[in-house]
Structures are given as structure tokens and as C-alpha cells.
Structure 1
């Protein structure tokens, strides 16, 4: 069937009214708080808390009801077929690591959660670990992270058995593919093994026992332990600890809601200690590697959070820092650690940058900003969304620009200090990723032979870069994906995606499940709103905390911009966001409900004044604010979507998507928001909750699961966004 016929079929569907035969409304029992001179009403507080049987029963009924309604939508099957087709034919290679002639990587196909592979120097490939073969996990195990040892003979693998990102880290012998018997747990899935240069052991960031967690929060009070291969993990000493109690180190005190981590660079005698959290800035301390493996090590803390350092690397006696303190787009600094009194005040810039050159560029992709290889220091420099690599000679500080094989955004940039060169993957909005290893001796990029093939023909699609003008006159970048033959008559359905948190930039990414929406004659746009990092740290601060409403205004203005350009109309446009972007899309829904036609929430944070009561809540204080503080509470209340729902208001069509194993954002945030919105709404339009019993926060999921989710989203929007 031709694309034109499919577009015609989708365009003639009527708008579906909200179903009246759904599950009964949630009970409301108003809880009133008097906080910092403000009275706050919370009628659905009963939904909060873990192991809440009443809420879980209510949520299950919501999910069943939504599933039945989604299955009845006229275009669901056609979307399922189209998206599953591109997913089943796609093979994705990611997370590549090159060690001593071996290439380690994850190979992901449609229904799998990613298989750990190794390619030997002779080009032969074999499976190291397929999570589908693991027993007693219901078939839902996944690899969140893996870390090869410095010589490539072993690899530590983080295995998530429950979909909640809480992992068991196991060491595999690369030659045999069998476990060595070394294993530690529980480890949050983002923290890998920090190997010693000789491979005799590794440090790891372990979650605290349940009875030692502040407020019962699983992401508080973590401790950094040292594991020596061949010894029982029960004997692993604590090197650093967040919070108070056994294992704390007076020379490197870490708040309970931050995470201790460490690096042991091969090309240096120094160890780099890191205090990090859900924030762009990190704190760095140093000591010798010989000292660092001792529980009572004496650390020298050089970088504080106020120094706005977002990345660091060590080679020899030089500490390299990427800081946004003096320059919003970042600058590269160097510091001589051989000086016993060295401090951040002694740093010196070593990389000339011009105008829009940016090295502070945080994204979800697998990229470093500065990376110390054996031969040189490599730095990722972005300009107008296009990434390049600069090479800096350790001895002379001479800067060279590495020729790029094509213009694109780096979804992988990685180097390590026991190998020469670096790994690089570039992609575009409509261009599948291509990957290389840079050989500094030959000064050439060598293909990894893992270039992703497009699962379908998207040559009819192009990306238009433009700007919107926000409410306060700020110009905000807007990327619009559309067919080349699009008619600018406002007749098309449109989706606008935004995030606007943690200084995370939305960078070009090749996503067939989204391109299929465009291929059928629709629009998919990306709003680079304030709160992200597209224009440096200043752009992040401009949409953070008390400025959160600025990002919301940007998001809503993108709808008007699509209408001005003739791509769509507000009633035909939907907003999509999630996670911390819940504040963005939630703010748009509650403050501007008549400016767009629908909204889709994905595992969204929606009730920030209750962060202190939520698992993983305290970890968010650096970005979201601390609701227990009089200074933060007023603006947190103002940006709280749940608390800003207005009664007797007509709201757009809503679908809220959650994973029942989510350890980052509690499902009760979605439940509370949906229940209150339904009680306040006068439009009669849907407020549906889509649940995934096996899903978490969506960080690690199969291509098939992503396709299933977007099929539901597109069918829902077909039914809710009117077209001529």
C-alpha cells in the first residue's frame, strides 16, 4: 500500500470521545499540609508508598482498561505491523569498547535485550553473554553495562534481572566465556567496575543494605568497595561512603544523596575520586592509586560542585577538567597534580575555542567530553549540533583537528589510556549510525564494520532547522522532520518532543520508529527548550529551578511555530516527554491546556514537592530543588504539575505511560496526576494510563518493546488529533 493511501486512511478517522465505561474513579481523601505559609491540598496521597496494595490494584485496573481501549483503536494493527517490521529487520551495535585488539560490543535485535559480543583481532566474533539464556528471571534479564579489564582478558557485566536497574555484577573470562566466580551486588545499573591497571581487582559502587538507607531510599548512602579477584565479596573493604556511618572518610565526605566513584588511569600514578549525582556538575578529589585502595586513604579534594566541572581525565601528573564556570559553552583546563598545593585556582586553559564551539555537551548517548588515550588527549567539540574531535599532544599541547568522515552527532565517543586513538560513532536525524576506530599512527578512521543499515527507505524525509520565538522573545532551536513533498497547509498531525532537564542536549538520532510516523505524512519535531544544554550551561540554568516555566513556554511556543510554518495546527499537534521532562509536558498541560490537542507522558515526574518521600527523590534535589527548604518550596510548588491542576478546566487528550518496575520515578506520581486531572477535567477527552508490567524506566529495553509502545502512541494520536 502506498504512503499516500495510508495517509488518506489515517486522515479520515473521527476523534474518539472519552469512554464512559472505564474503571471507577479513584477515591479522594484530602490531606492538607501547611508548608512555609502555604496550604497544600493532596487528595490522592493514599496512592504513595511502596508495596501499596490498594494503589497497585487500582493501577492494574487502569492498565487493563487502557489496553482494551488501545486494542480497539482502528489504526493500531497497521502501526504495529509497520513498526514491528522496521524493528525486526534492524540490528543495532552499541557500547563498543576496544581493548588490546579485541572489540567488545552489545548486539541488539528486535526481541532481545542486547547480547554481549566480542570480536577477536582476526575478525571472528562470538557471544560472551546472551541474557535470554539466564535462568529464573522470566526471560527479562538485560545487560545495563559492561567493563572490560585493562588487558581485555576479563569483563565485568552488570545484569539486571528484574527490570528495575538493580544489577548483579559478574566477571566473565573472555577466553572461555565462563564466569570466574567473582560477583558483587546490588549495584545500580549505571555504575560499572573501575579496574586497577593490572587487572587484579576493581572498585565498584554498591547500594546500601535496606536498613542503612536514608528514608528507605535505595539510591542513598551508597558505598565504594574494593574487590580483589578470587576473594569473597564479603571481605570487600569500603573505600568511600556517602552519608554517615562505617566507611566514611573525613578527607572525602560525601552527602548521602550523592554517589562515590573512582577511576584508576593506566597512564598515571593518581586515582581520581568522583562525587556525582543527578546533576551536571561533579566534585573531584585525588590521591595516589596505592593510597586509594586503602579504606583510610587521604584524599585531596580539588574541584567542588561550585566550580561547575562536568568531566575530567588524568594522564601522568596532569588533571584535565571541562568546566562551564568561566565560559558557558565550556573550556578545557589543565592542572599539575605534582604540586602538593595544587588547587583549581592554578588551572590553565589549553584548548583555544571560538564563538559557538561547545565542549559542555551532555547527552544520553555514550560519549565522553574529554578522554585520555595512550597517545594523546582527545576532546569532543560541537558547533551547531555537529561534533568534531580535537587531538592534544601530551608533551607539546599542540592541538590538531581530526578530520571527520561525515558531518553528524557523536552517539559514541570513547577512549581509554591503555589504547591509542578512540572509538567514534556518528549519526543524523535521517542517517543511520556509522562507527570507526581512529588510528593515530596512520591518521585515519578505520570502519568497525558495524554501520547500521536503514530498515526502510527514508529518503523522502528531511530535517529542517529553524527557531521559535518564546514568550519572552528568546529564540529557541526547533528541528522539524517532514516529508520532502509536505504541503504547508496545516493539515498534518504533528508530534513535538522535548526534555529540558539536567543540561541534557537533544542531539540528532536515527530512530526508525519515529521516522515511520513522518513517512506516513505526519510531522515529528524536536524542541530544544531551555533547561537542556544545546547552548551551553547558561541554557541549562535559563530553564532550571525557578526558571522552569521558561522551558514550558518554549515547548508550547513550538506548537505555534509549526502552525505558523504551515506544518500543522495546534489542535492537530501533540506533545511528548517524560522522566524529568514530566515537569515540561505537565507544565504545558496544566498552564496551557488549549494550546495543543494531546499529550503523551512517558514515565513522568509530576509531583516534585513530594520528592523527599520518593525513592530516588533526594538524588534529584540538585536539579529539581529541595522541597524541605523555604527557599526552594515556592518555585517547586509553582512547577509542580499535580499541584497546579485547575478544577473545572477543559484539558487535552492524555495518555500516561509507565513501567511498573520503574526505580527512578515512582508510578504513584502518574496515578496521582491522572486521578486529579480526571476529577478536574470538563472536556470529556481521554486520560488513559498505559502500564508495562515488565518495564522499568525505559533505559534498557528491546527494539520490539519500543515499537509496541510507539504503535500505541500513534494509534492514540490518530484517534485524538483531527485532520481534514
Structure 2
């Protein structure tokens, strides 16, 4: 085991003394115009042959009054600086008018002859609507009307019952993503009284086929969470309508303790989920995590609905299965084990010895055909409907849908109404056809319902219109050549009349984690930047899924630096093509993308003009001391292992800051209710970067008191954030 040097007693006394100091220091900072200072108390560790210094470890911890005080002061300081920027009001007006008239329809679902959806305008994060069979639309739940929430409640997810008579809604109060799941009667819009909590906002109700109850994934009580992490030790339970939730049995559990099932045990960082597909006798058990590959087991539904079921496990992590679904006695799996671009396998569960080795491929794929991978969109990979299996296949960034007949195995391509990416693709095993939404970089989303009997797509009447004319903007698809010679896709949004003289300010966005692809998205807030004569580019760096699982692995773990190199190479490519110059180009990313934007800041500070990092992961060697940390081990590594620690240290932006270095201007943003990435990661990075920097350029921290990780950001909040970003970049990137 590595030896940890304990804090000396003198530092403990210094900590206590400093609790009284911040008010004086912040007052001094306000008078001098400097950002609020941060004290240093270096913690030194010797880990696997490396000496690690951590002068701002005192910021860590969820109940850290000193850090919270410092963070609030940072936000107030930055707010004052942003408000004084000369172009801020202009951007606020432009983006407010853009988003103020926009209405988005998303997360459409069909059930019982009804269409459910979220309608979102400039204010609020979205209202749950229903369209009845006669075409009448009405509100089921407007979270802004909930009492005692100060207008900050939002719907993270909802799930209609199979017959459409009820809907289970996850409501988040304040951006933390910890939700209360309420059941509404669809006919009356009234709550039924069935309530379960706390539930992480990504996990909705898994209805029983007869609608008599549902499975759900509940967060552990605070005292039972490993390391106090709110997303560890979750358990799958079953709620029967009309019964007290306190009696809901535990069906599966992550970690140890009551409810653990030996036939389907899982580590505390996994998320247990049980699905009960309509029309099947089988339940699908899932052990999920923040990684591309997942574990899947099956059991008869009648047994799975009771504690102690005997689960038959089909796919483990070594099988590289990314998703699974059941229709009847067939389990469909999307695997990258034999084909990096993915293949769809089918397994007959009626065989008592069913194993993944017996699974057969059901969808012929050629060349660059890819079973469309993981994205942030509401799109299934394989979608079993009542009439057929539908699969989303992508080639060169354009999606199409393949239909696989259950009886004959015949494969047909569903005619697409226009080229684009499926931001919504959903089928239900109790209904024929599927729902589809397509969008492009400059094309607003359009949505349809596919009717297999007629072989046609019918519009849902919910196409998103553009409140502003962006016809002058076009997308150019090209490539950059990275440091090691790898060709990386690059999308450039620019005005059609843009002069290729290097005169434009530019932003490059990249992500590069979990195998998530950066796909075309119609974003008026981004297009507004381009309309004014700037450039917005998307670098499809390694670590994402744009070229299959091999592309993900090429930028993961010890290869994370490859994604950073790709990101920085995009800046040079824009310069080569004449769109911009490095000093006029900014990098933008967030969340796990903090590793690549932070990596670029610390390793190549002179190769671009500025950087923006939103709710970023910036200190991975302290992963297990952060909220949601253990859940990231599959993607980011385990700092307790001698095999992982050296490359985790190398990709740790906080640890790679070099003293006496000129760094670019940096804007960092956090939501004070973020449960995905602890805010102290951003705080530590900002404090250390300021101390090391010799450029005198700003390192500002933008805080959102009502925000979390940005998963349910309202259009108005997004517009306000990007107005700040654009005004900041106007001030930091030279125009000529």
C-alpha cells in the first residue's frame, strides 16, 4: 500500500485559524480588484514512486464551510468582472431574442394511443404534456407550479405506463439530480399518491406489463453510502401501486448488505436496473456504470419481481456489450467484441443453457457501417417494437434505420426523409413502429412516427423552427492531422462568406470520453456566435465513439493524451485553412471533457488564446474522494492501483500545472448543486493555476447558485451562460 503523509498538527491549527480569515481576505480582494485569494497548506504524498504535492486539498469535502465561502466569493468577483465586459449586453440581447421565441419538443413517447412529450420554452426546463387520441394537447405537470421550489424544479425523466393511463415523473428540486418520483393519473392529471424517493434523475420507473407497479433504482440512505458518495450502493426495488413505498422489497443491490443477490452481485459503484418488457416472460437485469461496456442478466419476470430471484448472467464486461433489449424469448445485444463498429446479436433465451457464445448476428453490416453508439441524445441503439426490431445504423455521421423482421430475419432500410442524426429514436415492444427525430448542424429538428403497415413516416407536428435566419451559416466537414499522424474528423461552422484570411475568432469544442460521439446538433446559441462572423468547430477527438470502440480506446486511460493532442491540433488546422489564428482561438469543453481542455491548458498553453471549462473533471487522482468518483473508475482508472496511478497522474490537469508559466485566459464554471463533479476540483485548479501563472491573464470562476451539472438547464440559463462566455472571449481573443 502506498504511504500517505499525514497532515502535521501545526497545519491543523492553521486550518482552524484560517476559518476566521476569509472575510478579511475577501474584503481586501474587493478593494484591490484581485480575485479572492486561497490559502495554501501543502499535503505531500509518496504514491507508487511519485511525490505528489497538493497545496489546496483543504478545499475538498462536501461540508466544507471555508471552501464554500471562498467559492461564493469567487462567483461574486467573476460576476462583477463579467458584467463590466463591453460586449456582454449585446450578447445577452442577441441570445435572449434567439432563445426567447424558441419552443422545443423532446423526449416523445407513445402509450395507450397517447403521445407524451416535454415542451420547453425560454423559461423553465420543460413542461410534461400529453396529446390525447383526438389531438387535444394538455399540461400534465409544469414543475414551475410546484410549491416551495422557488421556480427551480425540473423534470429529468418520465415514463408512461404501458396502457398510457399513468405516468411516473422524476422531479429534481434545485439541479442536484436527486429526484422524487411521483405517479400521475393521465386522465385527471392528479397525483395517485404513489411516491418513491430519493431516485437519481437518470433512472425512471420500469413498469410491469400490466401497469400494476414498477421497478425503480433507489439511492441508498446517507448512512449506507460508501464514502458518503450519493451515487453508490443503489438498490433496485419494486413498488406496487396503492401500497406504502416503505414496504417495497429490494430486488437487487449494489455493494453489500440487505438485498444483495448472490446470483447477480455487483460492486457498490454499479447501478442496478430491472426492465420488465411487454410481451415477454423475461426480465432484463442490468448492472450499469459510467463506461461503454455493461453487464446483463435475465430471469423470469414472475421471479424477478420478488427478492432472491435466480439470475442467469449472459454478458459480462469482457463481452463488450454496450446495450441490450428483449423481445419475446429473444435477447438482443449490441457488442463491439468482434467488430469495433458494433454488431447486433440475438440469443434464444428459451434454451436452458443460453450463453452469449450461442448468439448470432442478425444484421449484416459493411465497411464503415456502425451500430450508432453512445451519445447524449434520446436514441436507442436497438429498439424492439411489436412488429419488428429496429436498429440505428450510422455511416459517416448520417443515421438510417434498419428494420429486421422477427419471423423471416429479412432486413430493410427505412427510407429517411432527410439526411441527419437521430436525436430521438424510440420503439416500444407493445406498439408497432417507432418515433424518430432528425437534426443537423444547421437544420432544426424534425420529428416523425413510423407506421410499418403503410411503410411511411408521419410528422408529429412538432418540428422546431428557427427564430433567427441562419441561412448564411454552413458546416464544412474536414480532417485534422494529429501529432502522431492520425486523421481526426473536424466539423467547422462558419459563415458562407467568411474570408479565409485568419481574421475570425474561433471556438473549438471537444469531449473525448466514454465513447460518446459528438453528433450534429442545432444550437441557436452556437449559431449566433457564427452569425456574427466567428467560427465554431467540433473536433471529434479520440476517446469518443465517432469511429467505433477502437476510437474510444485510442483516447482512453493511458491514451488520454492523444485526445489532448487532437484537440490542440484542431487549433492549428483552423489556422492552416485560414479560418482563424491560434491567438484568436479558444478551447471549450466540460464535465469529463475537463480532462482534455485542462490537459491542453497545462501542456500546450501557448498554442491557443483562451479556454472555457464547464463543470470540469480536473483532478482525477482524487477521484475516490469526489462525488460520483467511484462510478468513473471504468473510464478514468483506479488511483489505488500501481498500474493506473502513473497515467492518471499524467492526465491530471491540476497536478500538471507548472510554476512560473504563462497560461492563457481561462473561464471556469460550476453549479453549486452539482452531484456529478465536485466543485472543489474546479476550485483547486483555479487556485493553483493563478499561483503558477506569469501572463497576468484572468482565471475566473463563474458560479450558478441554482445550477447543478447542467443536465436540465433552461434555454434562458443556457443563453445567459453563453452570453458570458462570448463576452469573455471577445475581451480575450484579439480581433485582428
In the TM superposition, 1:690-709 aligns within 5 A as 690-709=702-721
Alignment pair present for 1:69 and 2:87: no
Quote how far apart the aligned CAs of 1:20 are.
6.2
Alignment pair present for 1:337 and 2:349: yes
Quote how far apart the aligned CAs of 1:639 are.
0.1
Aligned to 2:579: 567
Alignment pair present for 1:633 and 2:638: no
Contact 1:323 1:360 in 2 (8 A): no
Q: Please list the CA deviations of residues 128-149 of structure 1 after superposition, one character each: whole Å capped at 9, or x if unmatched.
A: 0000000011110000000000
Contact 1:167 1:187 in 2 (8 A): yes
Equivalent position to 1:449, from 461, 467, 470: 461
Q: CA RMSD in A?
A: 0.9
Alignment pair present for 1:654 and 2:656: no
Aligned to 1:11: none
Q: Distance in 2 between matches of 1:601 and 1:22?
A: 21
Quote how far apart the aligned CAs of 1:23 are.
3.3
Aligned to 1:239: 251
Aligned to 1:40: 52
Equivalent position to 1:610, from 622, 635, 640: 622
Q: Which runs of 5+ in 2 are unaligned?
A: 1-29
Equivalent position to 1:520, from 509, 532, 539: 532
Alignment pair present for 1:546 and 2:553: no
Higher relative contact order (CA 8 A, sep 6+): 1
Q: Please list the CA deviations of residues 390-425 of structure 1 after superposition, one character each: whole Å capped at 9, or x if unmatched.
A: 000111111010000100001000001011000000
Q: Please list the CA deviations of residues 7-44 of structure 1 after superposition, one character each: whole Å capped at 9, or x if unmatched.
A: xxxxxxxxxxx996123421011000111111100000
Equivalent position to 1:103, from 115, 134, 138: 115
Q: Distance in 1 between matches of 2:339 and 2:415?
A: 26
Quote how far apart the aligned CAs of 1:162 are.
2.3
Q: Distance in 1 between matches of 2:87 and 2:197?
A: 45
Q: 3-state SS of the aligned residue for 2:615? A: strand
Alignment pair present for 1:716 and 2:706: no
Aligned to 1:346: 358
Aligned to 1:4: none
Q: Please list the CA deviations of residues 691-716 of structure 1 after superposition, one character each: whole Å capped at 9, or x if unmatched.
A: 00001000001000000000000000
Contact 1:360 1:537 in 2 (8 A): no
Aligned to 1:466: 478
Q: Distance in 2 between matches of 1:410 and 1:224?
A: 30
Q: Distance in 2 between matches of 1:553 and 1:477?
A: 13
Alignment pair present for 1:148 and 2:148: no
Aligned to 1:200: 212
Q: Distance in 2 between matches of 1:717 and 1:271?
A: 51
Contact 2:591 2:614 in 1 (8 A): yes
Q: Distance in 2 between matches of 1:648 and 1:537?
A: 39
Q: Distance in 1 between matches of 2:229 and 2:328?
A: 39
Q: Distance in 2 between matches of 1:22 and 1:437?
A: 56
In the TM superposition, 1:665-680 aligns within 5 A as 665-680=677-692
Q: Distance in 2 between matches of 1:182 and 1:198?
A: 16
Aligned to 1:12: none
Q: 3-state SS of the aligned residue for 1:516? A: helix
Quote how far apart the aligned CAs of 1:154 are.
0.1
Alignment pair present for 1:213 and 2:213: no
Contact 1:649 1:681 in 2 (8 A): yes
- Segment drifting more, 469-478 vs 335-344: 335-344
Contact 1:70 1:715 in 2 (8 A): yes
The alignment's TM-score, normalised by the length of structure 1, stands at: 0.97
Q: Please list the CA deviations of residues 46-103 of structure 1 after superposition, one character each: whole Å capped at 9, or x if unmatched.
A: 0000121110111111110100010000000000000000111000000000112100
Contact 2:114 2:164 in 1 (8 A): yes
* Structure 1 residues 511 and 19: CA distance shift in structure 2, 3 A: farther
Equivalent position to 1:260, from 272, 290, 298: 272
Q: 3-state SS of the aligned residue for 1:506? A: coil
Alignment pair present for 1:180 and 2:192: yes
Q: Distance in 2 between matches of 1:61 and 1:338?
A: 62
Equivalent position to 1:394, from 398, 406, 418: 406
Q: Distance in 2 between matches of 1:166 and 1:366?
A: 20
Q: Distance in 2 between matches of 1:125 and 1:306?
A: 47
* Structure 1 residues 19 and 78: CA distance shift in structure 2, 3 A: farther
Contact 1:322 1:360 in 2 (8 A): no
Contact 2:507 2:537 in 1 (8 A): yes
Q: Distance in 2 between matches of 1:424 and 1:659?
A: 32
Q: 3-state SS of the aligned residue for 1:589? A: helix
Q: 3-state SS of the aligned residue for 1:85? A: helix
Q: 3-state SS of the aligned residue for 1:94? A: strand
Contact 1:422 1:438 in 2 (8 A): yes
Contact 2:112 2:165 in 1 (8 A): no
Q: Please list the CA deviations of residues 612-648 of structure 1 after superposition, one character each: whole Å capped at 9, or x if unmatched.
A: 1111000000000010111110000000000000000
Q: 3-state SS of the aligned residue for 1:590? A: helix
In the TM superposition, 1:261-660 aligns within 5 A as 261-660=273-672
- Segment drifting more, 259-268 vs 682-691: 259-268
Equivalent position to 2:37, from 5, 22, 25: 25
Q: Distance in 2 between matches of 1:594 and 1:19?
A: 32
The alignment's TM-score, normalised by the length of structure 2, stands at: 0.96
Contact 2:127 2:142 in 1 (8 A): yes
Q: Distance in 1 between matches of 2:328 and 2:35?
A: 64
Q: Distance in 1 between matches of 2:457 and 2:546?
A: 27
Q: Which runs of 5+ in 1 are unaligned?
A: 1-17
Q: Distance in 2 between matches of 1:710 and 1:265?
A: 41
Aligned to 2:20: none
Contact 1:87 1:110 in 2 (8 A): yes
